[in-house]
Amino acid sequence: MDASRCDVLILGGGVIGLSCALYLLRGGASVRVLEQGTPGCGSSHGNCGTITPSHAAPLAMPGMLGVALRSMLRSDAPLYLNPRFDSPRLRWLLGFARHCNWQDFNRAAQARAAILQRSRGLLANLIRAERLDCEFVEEGVLYVYRNAQQRDADEQHHAQLLDRLGISVQRMRGDEVEAMEPVLKPGVQGGFFHPDDARLRPDRYVAELARLVREHGGVIETGAKIEGFRTEGRHIAGVSTSRGDFMGERVVMALGAWSPLLGKQLGLRLPMQPGKGYSLTFTRPAHAPQHALVLREAAVCVTTWESGFRLGSTMEFSGYAEGLNRKRLDALRRGAATSLREPEGPQLQEEWWGWRPMSMDEVPIIGPSTQWSNLHLATAHGMLGVSMSAATGELVAAQLNGTTPAFDPTAYAPARFGL
């Protein structure tokens, strides 16, 4: 048998690709993962590690386009749109603008909620059953407001939306929030607590996933940069990489923000843009929050683990521009300092940036390609890759195995974009 051939060839070794690999292996398939770096070296590494059914609401809503356009004037704004002309980004922005209405907002929220809630349960079960060492804690996520107007605005399109979706949210007064988290500075105007959310250390979780994949017989080819495809009609017959050529009866594209770049070689125009995020990782401060926090006005996520402390978030649309933006890192620090008595740990361990794969409708793209007979897509998870990963893996395995998925896959189908 050709050693380079397998049942399923997965392109991308981040949290989505590895989750697909694990569920496929459990179903009896032979699997090989092609990763250009090391497992989880992209957005799976430096995100805040929150598992958040509470993040069902998409960014796209009436008025958001104006916020994005005004952000061009402030390079340190939580949501920043680089004014440099870029035709793919402009096309994406026009598509995003078309979805900034309440009908599409509610449709996207329902799709996101379904996969987030399914994945939340699967993740917890997987971590407990396999005893994964990833600092998993089920203590909820707390949104903190220092501005009553912001809190009241979020009541409608955040809290009431979660009520309708059946996702638990608790309204809290400012004094209740301060009592719950004494590390906060005075002046809190209110909060929303999401008791069903959780957190983990994402780099450790991905490392454990990679271990499981290998233990189940999967092969992970590291340093295998994809260079091209060999096609026969509508069939992908092989994938060329810097490590050689590989073949699979089925091919799963789980390349995150790189998906549009590789998709072009197959004639696919994926409606995605990289949304650049940043984080700062410190050693744990003496007085650290007990819960993961979202400091709402500053749009800063704060996550505490036994092994460290991370400030993260921000969304920058600057195309595929690489590297750290000092203004945005400084904004994270300022945002944390407005709310936390001890906003940083004793030692800065890492400054990080990564690209999140943002679809124009903010719903992931999961399912069979309409253009290629053996291609499956599993990409465009935005800021929620870790949160959606387990359910994505389960869904891809069900679709490739021909079994009934645990939830309706229609909303995520590539066919909605003609892919």
| CA-to-CA separations, 255 to 17, 159, 357, 359, 416, in angstroms, rounded | 8, 33, 9, 13, 19
Residue 2: band (very low, low, confident or very high) from pLDDT cuts 50, 70, 90 = low
Give the C-alpha separation, 376 to 203, whole Å: 26
Domain positions in the chain are 5-217+252-417
pLDDT score, position 1: 36
Question: Considering only the top CATH level, what class is 5-217+252-417?
Answer: alpha beta
Tens digits of residue pLDDT in 53-64: 999 999 888 887
Tens digits of residue pLDDT in 125-165: 999 999 999 999 999 999 999 999 999 999 988 999 999 99
Report the chain's mean pLDDT, rounded to a whole number. Answer: 94
Q: What's this model's pTM, rounded to 2 decimal places?
A: 0.95
pLDDT score, position 66: 78
Q: CA 117 from chain center: how many Å?
A: 14
Residue 368 has pLDDT above 60, yes or no: yes
Residue 214 burial (CB count, 10 A):
15
Give the C-alpha separation, 295 to 307, whole Å: 22
3-state secondary structure the chain: CCCCEEEEEEECCCHHHHHHHHHHHHCCCCEEEECCCCCCCCHHHHCCCEECHHHCCCCCCCCHHHHHHHHHHCCCCCEEECCCCCHHHHHHHHHHHHCCCHHHHHHHHHHHHHHHHHHHHHHHHHHHHHCCCCCCECCCEEEEECCHHHHHHHHHHHHHHHHHHCCCCEEEEHHHHHHHCCCECCCCCEEEEECCCEECCHHHHHHHHHHHHHHCCCEEECCCCEEEEEEECCEEEEEEECCEEEEEEEEEECCHHHHHHHHHHHCCCCCEEEEEEEEEEECCCCCCCCCEEEECCCCEEEEEECCEEEEEEEEEEECECCCCCHHHHHHHHHHHHHHECCCCCCCEEEEEEEEEEEECCCCCEEEECCCCCCEEEEECCHHHHHHHHHHHHHHHHHHHHCCCCCCCCHHHCHHHHCC
| CA-to-CA separations, 336 to 13, 279, 303, 344, 384, in angstroms, rounded | 32, 12, 11, 8, 22
pLDDT score, position 192: 98
Stretch 271-275: mean pLDDT: 95
pLDDT score, position 267: 96
Tens digits of residue pLDDT in 229-265: 999 999 999 999 999 999 999 999 999 999 999 999 9
Stretch 200-207: mean pLDDT: 97
pLDDT score, position 310: 97
Residues contacting residue 290 through CB under 8 Å, at least 6 positions apart: 139, 180, 181, 304
pLDDT score, position 349: 97
Stretch 400-419: mean pLDDT: 96
Residue 3: band (very low, low, confident or very high) from pLDDT cuts 50, 70, 90 = low
In the chain, % of residues over pLDDT 90: 86
Residue 315: band (very low, low, confident or very high) from pLDDT cuts 50, 70, 90 = confident
| Beta bridge pairs of residue 6 | 248
Residue 83: band (very low, low, confident or very high) from pLDDT cuts 50, 70, 90 = confident
pLDDT score, position 63: 84
In the chain, % of residues over pLDDT 70: 98
Tens digits of residue pLDDT in 162-175: 999 999 999 999 99
Stretch 103-126: mean pLDDT: 97
